[in-house]
């Protein structure tokens, strides 16, 4: 709570945060998620990922750890990838969020989604939403990455199934415009 109070003061939210078991102070936020604008009351301590999953039903974005190591919850916040377990919902106020559920348009997969499918870059699929969101961010920064640059760009996203081999191939495939 001390951290949260400090953060709250710094961010100029509320300086009267109470212990969450006491009466919680709710904060109103407006966020555009996957092209839909939402206005909601949230507890100041609510993480963006919990807001997406529990209040908006955006369960395509998942939680894999408590320490922002795994990256399963990666979304785009104003066009940049963030781990949504590492962002408070109130910090997203006024922002635009894109999740895995907002990537495909008019029934057509995003090229990186297509690449993950073509290259068998997923098995259980739990890390996949975060991995795809991070891969898109990586390719936006560096449209023609080397294998090492891809590996370093995905370092913040853990996968336990694929050994990363085919994930790297998928990013290369997407970078090449769908050529293996």
- Chain residues binding another protein by CB under 8 A are 20-21, 23, 43, 45, 53, 58-67, 69-70, 72, 99-101, 103-104, 109, 113, 116-118, 120, 122-129, 132, 147, 150-152, 154-169
Least Å from the CB of residue 57 to another protein:
8
Closer by beta carbon to another protein, 13 or else 130: 130
For 16-161, where are the alpha helices, taking DSSP H only?
Answer: 48-50, 111-118, 128-141, 147-153
Q: How far is the CB of 93 from another protein (least distance, A)?
A: 20
- Rounded Cα distance between 12 and 151, Å, is 38
Of residues 11 and 69, the one with the C-beta less far from another protein: 69
Minimum distance of another protein from residue 116's CB (angstroms): 5
**Residue 106 Cβ vs another protein, minimum distance, rounded to whole Å:** 13
Residue closer to another protein (CB basis): 140 or 165? 165
Tell me how far apart the alpha carbons of residues 85 and 74 are, in angstroms, rounded to a whole number. 8
Smallest separation, CB 139 to another protein (Å): 14
Q: How is residue 24 annotated by DSSP?
A: P
Within the chain, strands assigned E span 27-33, 36-42, 74-77, 80-83, 96-98
The side-by-side arrangement of strands in the sheet containing 36-42 is: 36-42, 27-33, 96-98, 74-77, 80-83
Complex with another protein: residue 8 or 53, whichever CB lies closer = 53
**Pairwise CA distance, residues 170 & 119, whole Å:** 5
- Residue 95 or 113: which CB sits closer to another protein? 113
112 class by beta-carbon count within 10 Å (0-12 exposed, 13-18 middle, 19+ buried) = buried
């Amino acid at each position: 709570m001390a951290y949260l109070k400090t953060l709250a003061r710094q961010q100029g939210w509320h300086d009267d945060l109470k212990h969450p078991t006491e009466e919680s102070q709710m904060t109103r936020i407006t966020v555009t998620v996957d092209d839909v604008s939402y206005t909601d009351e949230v507890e100041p301590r609510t993480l963006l990922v919990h807001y997406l999953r529990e209040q908006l039903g955006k369960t395509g974005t998942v939680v894999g750890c408590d320490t922002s190591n795994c990256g399963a919850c990666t979304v785009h916040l104003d066009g940049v990838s963030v781990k949504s377990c590492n962002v408070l919902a109130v910090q997203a106020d006024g922002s635009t969020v894109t999740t895995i559920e907002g990537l495909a348009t008019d029934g057509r997969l995003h090229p990186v989604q297509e690449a993950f499918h073509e290259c068998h870059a997923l098995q259980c699929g739990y890390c996949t939403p975060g991995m795809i969101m991070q891969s898109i961010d990586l390719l936006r920064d560096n449209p023609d990455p080397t294998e090492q640059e891809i590996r370093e760009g995905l370092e913040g996203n853990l996968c336990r199934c694929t050994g990363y081999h085919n994930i790297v191939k998928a990013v290369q495939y997407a970078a090449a415009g769908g050529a293996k």
